[in-house]
Every structure is written in structure tokens, then in C-alpha cells.
Structure 1
């Protein structure tokens, strides 16, 4: 295992952000609207109000931004010629560079919703509310919830981890093993690496369409749109032109009806019809779905 000795305290350095080297591979992404808000905030302040972490790579002569890539880029776009940053001057092995980068992205606190709402309500100016980057729709939801009764220990939740893996088997297996060793989740969903950008684009489109900033809310919008078009999945087993199946096996009922549920009145009528067919012996008791074949045949 690599040595995890303490780092020497970083020194504070002031300089031109254009002299810094941004990471080629950065796990943290920032939606376009949030980045534009960050640039606007920096233009208003005239400086950075949070400090990037920079490593002085003596071997290459580069000053590499380990944490704060978006802040640095936004400072450049805002026209700042000087910013402050914390600088590490000692050598850093590749493993420690990655660990530093990921730890700064991953270790973050949680907002207490009651305190968040209380502080937000103190802001009288619309401009300052906009400055915070908080989403009004999300905050509005707090009005409808008794947050005093909520606590992390009382919440029933499950964690889901998305992993976008490359096509190459060896690289995919290595990435999957690394993720499994460093993180826990109730479920892990694996997707192709080429699907990563379309997922981000879908989230960004949902946020822009409904003017929301919360990724979870945007994902809910995507799922709602999916539910409206669940019947389109019939393309996976049905040829609309010939009216014949295109494969063997089974098909989800929601792709037949275009909905996951039906009104109870309709369900009751269908269930009663199936029970009559089973009782008459026209349909096997262990295959009640065959009642659909009988009902369709009666229409011919």
C-alpha cells in the first residue's frame, strides 16, 4: 500500500489563473446554467470567494488544479487576471493525486432543510437569492414538509450507483472492481461509456425545460416522460406492419396497453371475464392471461 504520510501545509499563492493547468479528466461536472451563474457571481464579486487547490508538479513545471477547475475556468471567463490558490509544492504520486481530487469532490456536507429555508428567507433581494444558486422550486417543497420530524436515521432510502464503463472487457472489469471496492450501494447499474454524455444531456434538457436546478428532480421529469411513452417499447417485440411478434419469449403488459395501471372499474370487468373463462374451462387456471387470446378470437 502506498505511503499515506501527512502533507506539508499548502502555501497561499496569488497569480494569473491562465498559468494554471486544468485537469484532463475531471469527475465533477457543472451544468451550463450553474456555470454561467458562477461566472456572473465572480464578475459581481471581482474575486474568487473559495480557493482552488493547486499542485506544483516540479517534474513537468505545471501548476495543476486538483480541486476548483470550474472556479478557475469561471475566473478566467470573468476576466480576472489574479486569484488566490492553495499550492502543494511537494511531490505527489499519481495515486495520491487521484485520491485528493476525488476526496474534494466526494466529501461534502448535507444541508439541514429547516436551516436552509430559514437562511434563504432572510434574503430580501431577488438578486441575492439568485446569487445563491438555490432552486426556488426545491425550496418551495420545504413549505409542504414538516422538516422538524425528519432525520437521516428516520428516512427510508436506498442508494443507487451508476457506472459508465468502456467496451473493452479488461478495462471494464478493472473499473467495476475498483468502484465496488471503494463505494457501497444497494444497486449498481452498468451502462456503456458512450451513454454517459447522453444521460447528462437528458438531465440538462430536463432542467432547462422546467427551470429546475436539482438533478434528482430532473431525473424525476425524465422518468415521467418515459412513463408517458412506455407503450413505445413494444418495438422491442412487435412488428406494427405485420402485427406479428419479432422474437420469442414474453413481453411486459405495460408495453401492450401503454400504461402500468388501469382504472379499477376496468380491472374489475376484465378480472370477472377471466374468472368466468377459467370457470368454464376455456382458460387454464394457471395461465389466466390466455383469456386475452379467447377475447380476441371472439372479435374475429
Structure 2
């Protein structure tokens, strides 16, 4: 390993962030929404609350940002006239520059989810919760935390990738193959390219209606609205005017009742009635849903708390 000598302590410098040189190749990326939140935080605070690392390259006369490129960019966009940074003035070989950059990105602690949940729950103001920059995936995981029993992070999550493909078969197949080879999502949902703009419009409408900035939260709103209109999906198999099915096959029960769940008391009574019909041989054991045929056939049956006539 080259340059095993210790670095001299960096000095703290205050200056115009616009005079700093950002990295041409930076392995660390920041999603757009998180960057916008970073800019908003700086506009609120009036300064940085964490310090970039800068190297003074005396040969070129450049001040190179080794760590904190996004913070510097955000400071510029937030209009901050000056910021503080840690500055290394001694010569650095290219290998050591890269090692410093990658170590700052890679060596980081992990949050204890139980403590993180406890601290987050203390924030009563919505604006301060937004200030933290915690995304919906993290917040959803926090809902599942058992503070009494969980000592360290061991939480599962799944990533989903939306792909909007063109109508042409060859182009669609090529795009899908490229996305499949490059992505690591647990699930991939394919849609037509012409649906891309309507999806963005739906997300924007949800954000505007509820005054939220996070796309994942906006998607949650869209799904909640969808859940309230499950019964409308019956149009895919049911003709309301004639009361007859318009296709063969199976239909989801939630499109019949308009809900995914029913009270356990009702479910227990229905289950008992179905079990009785199966025992009596009036309903096949491998097709218990045919108890509904008994309901609509006009036969009379009195079960445990359920009357089928």
C-alpha cells in the first residue's frame, strides 16, 4: 500500500462554494427528491450542518471536493454565499485521493431501528419529519419495529422496478433485456411507454392534493384511492345491466364485495356455514366457494349465525 504516512490534520476553511471543483467521477449518487430535501434544509438553516472534505491541489490551483459533492451543489443552489469545509493542503497521490473518496462514502454506521423509531416518534412537527430526509421505505420499516424485542437491524424489504416499454415488440424486448441485466429489483412491473406520462400526472396530482413531496408517499395515496374503488373492477367480468358474466374464468372476490377483508365475526360465521355445507355433501371440499351457489340458488340453509336462502 502506498502512502502509509499519516495525514496532517485538515484545517477548517470558510469560502465561496462556487470556487470548489467537484469530482468528474463520483460513485455516490443522490436521488432527486433527497437532493431537493437537502437544498430545502440548507435554505432553512442558512448554512451546512455537515462538513465536506476538500483537497488543495497546489499544482493545478484547484480545490477538489473529495467528499460532500452533493452538499456543495446543494449549498450553491440554496444560494449560500459561503460554507465551511475541511481542507487538506499536503500533496496526495491519485490512489490516496480515491481511497479517501470511497472510504467517506462506504464507511458509515448503521441505525438501530428501535432507537431510530423512538427518536423519529418524538418529532411532532411534520416539517421536521420531512427535514430528516427519511424515505417511505425506511418509515414503513419503522412501523414494523418491535421496540421491546429488536436490538439491531434485521429488517426485510423488497425493491420494485417500474419499466415503461415501447409498443414495438423488438424494441420492447431489447429494453426489457437491458433493464433485467442491469437492475437488481425483486420484482419488475412492465407497462406501455404511453402510460408513463399518466403515471407521473397521477403522482403529481396526489402530491398536490395532500401537499406531500415524496413520490413513494404519493403512490401510497394512489393505492389507497384504488382500494376504495375495488368493486368498480367488476366491469372486467360483470354486466350490471343483465346481471350476467361477460367472460369465462375466475374473478377476484374483492371485486364482488369491494373490500379485501371482512370482520372476523362475520368471517367465522361464514366459514362455519361453509364447513357445514361441505360435511353435508352439498358443497365440494376442494371448491368451498360453491357455497355461494347455494346462496344464489334459492335453497334454504340455516348455519351457525348465517342464514342462506
Residue 30 of structure 1 aligns to a residue whose secondary structure is helix
Contact 1:48 1:75 in 2 (8 A): no
TM-score, normalising length: structure 2: 0.54
Residue 294 of structure 1 aligns to a residue whose secondary structure is helix
Instruction: Give the structure with the higher percent helix.
Output: 1
Match of 1:59 in 2: none
Task: Decide which of 133, 143, 162 is 2:160's aligned counterpart.
Answer: 162
Per-residue CA deviations over 1:190-236 (Å, capped at 9, x if unaligned) read: 34485778479649946983869795x77666655544333333333
Please report the RMSD computed on the Cα atoms of aligned residues, expressed in angstroms: 5.9
- Give, in angstroms, the shift of residue 159 of structure 1: 2.8
Contact 1:17 1:72 in 2 (8 A): no
Match of 2:168 in 1: none
Distance 1:284 1:131 in 2: 54
Match of 1:57 in 2: none
- Give, in angstroms, the shift of residue 146 of structure 1: 6.5
- Give, in angstroms, the shift of residue 258 of structure 1: 1.5
Contact 1:163 1:189 in 2 (8 A): yes
Match of 1:61 in 2: none
Residue 165 of structure 1 aligns to a residue whose secondary structure is strand
Task: Decide which of 10, 16, 19 is 2:18's aligned counterpart.
Answer: 16
Match of 1:28 in 2: 31
Map 1:245-264; keep pairs closer than 5 Å. 245-264=245-264
Map 1:82-161; keep pairs closer than 5 Å. 109-113=109-113, 133=132, 147=147, 149-152=149-152, 155=154, 157-161=155-159
Distance 2:114 2:265 in 1: 43
**Cα pair distance change 1:165/1:227, threshold 3 Å:** closer
Map 1:1-300; keep pairs closer than 5 Å. 16=18, 28-30=31-33, 34-35=37-38, 37-41=40-44, 44-45=46-47, 49-51=50-52, 71-72=71-72, 74-81=74-81, 109-113=109-113, 133=132, 147=147, 149-152=149-152, 155=154, 157-167=155-165, 168-180=172-184, 187-192=186-191, 198=199, 202=203, 205=206, 209=210, 224-275=224-275, 277-278=277-278, 281-298=281-298
Distance 1:248 1:164 in 2: 30
**Cα pair distance change 1:81/1:89, threshold 3 Å:** farther
- Give, in angstroms, the shift of residue 252 of structure 1: 1.5
Per-residue CA deviations over 1:96-120 (Å, capped at 9, x if unaligned) read: 9xxx99x95x986432356557888
**Tell me, which stretches of 5 or more residues in structure 1 are unaligned?**
55-63, 91-95
TM-score, normalising length: structure 1: 0.55
Distance 1:145 1:160 in 2: 16
Contact 2:37 2:131 in 1 (8 A): no
Distance 1:177 1:121 in 2: 40
**Tell me, which stretches of 5 or more residues in structure 2 are unaligned?**
56-63, 166-171, 300-308
Contact 1:51 1:68 in 2 (8 A): yes
Distance 1:201 1:74 in 2: 28
